[in-house]
């Protein structure tokens, strides 16, 4: 996670994606107030609140880990208003976050280089991005397919969200199951992706346990130190070879 907001990081792209989703959720609540049902409006509000808590945790974690907390707060204060879950009107402030990420992306367009330098953070951001994407798309598609069908157990957005979350986590309680052919097809896809996502999470956690104290910066330092040691050994070998040749000439 970022320490100071001076250059683009992989987690910033995830925050930008969540900010876009949040703005769309708020817009859907505001402009669909007369067309959407009350449970659907409440569900959209609860989803946006979850995003708020994640953004607030990200801000607090970055502030806590920063070496200069005052400088961190001064450089990242605009993240805080849009992260507060209590006031819905403040969530439009996330447009400022999107603008800031756009500026950094314009100044540092080398995304592939950033991904290579920040492998751990890129992996974590990618896993969270896929999880949020599959959870949102799966919930919406399953609700549209199953709601209103005869004998369906998935009737509300909360049912669809709970079913998708249980399926992606590979837990599979079996309390809610799709009844239609289309719903079962979507379920098979989510099960397939859920197993792969769970495997990616397990591999990432295993890498953290195997190298608990090695972050992206530590890896770069270790690589530079290793290359420097190699260069020193080569220089010594060249010096020894030169000395041997001088001895042979004598």
Q: What is the DSSP string of 141-192?
A: HHHHHHTT-TT-S--SHHHHHHHHHHHHTT----SS---SHHHHHHHHHHHH
Q: CATH number of the domain at 130, please.
A: 1.10.287.70
Last residue of a domain, one of 117, 152, 168: 117
Q: Are 141 and 186 in contact (CB under 8 A)?
A: yes
pLDDT of residue 1: 43
pLDDT of residue 13: 81
Last residue of a domain, one of 67, 86, 117: 117
Supply the range of the domain harboring residue 91.
1-117
Number of domains in the chain: 3
Return all residues near 24 (Cβ < 8 A) that are at least 6 apart.
Answer: none
Mean pLDDT by 10 residues, the chain (250 residues): 56 82 83 80 85 85 81 79 74 75 71 72 82 88 87 87 87 82 88 82 71 52 65 78 74
Alpha helices in 66-118 (DSSP H): 69-76, 94-107, 111-117
pLDDT of residue 2: 45
Same domain, 71 and 92: yes
* Burial class of residue 145, CB neighbours in 10 A (0-12, 13-18, 19+): buried
Q: Which of 222, 37, 53, 218 is nearest to 143 (CA)?
A: 37
Q: What share of the chain is helix, strand, coil (3-state, %, to 5)?
A: 80, 0, 20
* Burial class of residue 51, CB neighbours in 10 A (0-12, 13-18, 19+): buried
pTM of the complete model: 0.69
pLDDT of residue 224: 66
């Amino acid at each position: 996670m970022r320490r100071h907001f001076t250059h683009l990081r992989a987690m910033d792209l995830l925050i930008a994606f969540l900010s876009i989703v949040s703005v769309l959720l708020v817009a859907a609540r505001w402009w669909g107030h007369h067309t959407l049902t009350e449970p659907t409006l409440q569900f959209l509000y609860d989803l946006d609140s979850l995003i708020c808590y994640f953004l607030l945790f990200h801000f607090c974690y970055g502030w806590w880990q920063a070496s200069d907390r005052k400088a961190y707060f001064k450089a990242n204060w605009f993240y805080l208003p849009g992260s507060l879950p209590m006031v819905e009107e403040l969530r439009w402030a996330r447009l400022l976050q999107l603008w800031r990420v756009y500026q950094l992306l314009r100044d540092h367009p080398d995304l592939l280089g950033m991904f290579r330098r920040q492998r751990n953070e890129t992996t974590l951001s990618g896993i969270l991005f896929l999880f949020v994407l599959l959870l949102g798309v799966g919930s919406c598609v399953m609700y549209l397919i199953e709601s209103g069908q005869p004998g369906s157990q998935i009737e509300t957005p909360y049912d669809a969200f709970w079913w998708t979350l249980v399926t992606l986590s590979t837990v599979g309680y079996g309390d809610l199951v799709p009844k239609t052919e289309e719903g079962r097809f979507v379920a098979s896809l989510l099960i397939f992706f859920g197993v792969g996502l769970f495997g990616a999470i397990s591999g990432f956690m295993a890498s953290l346990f195997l190298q608990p104290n090695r972050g992206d910066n530590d890896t770069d330092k270790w690589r530079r130190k290793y290359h420097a040691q190699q260069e020193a050994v080569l220089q010594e070998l060249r010096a020894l070879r030169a000395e041997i040749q001088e001895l042979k000439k004598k």
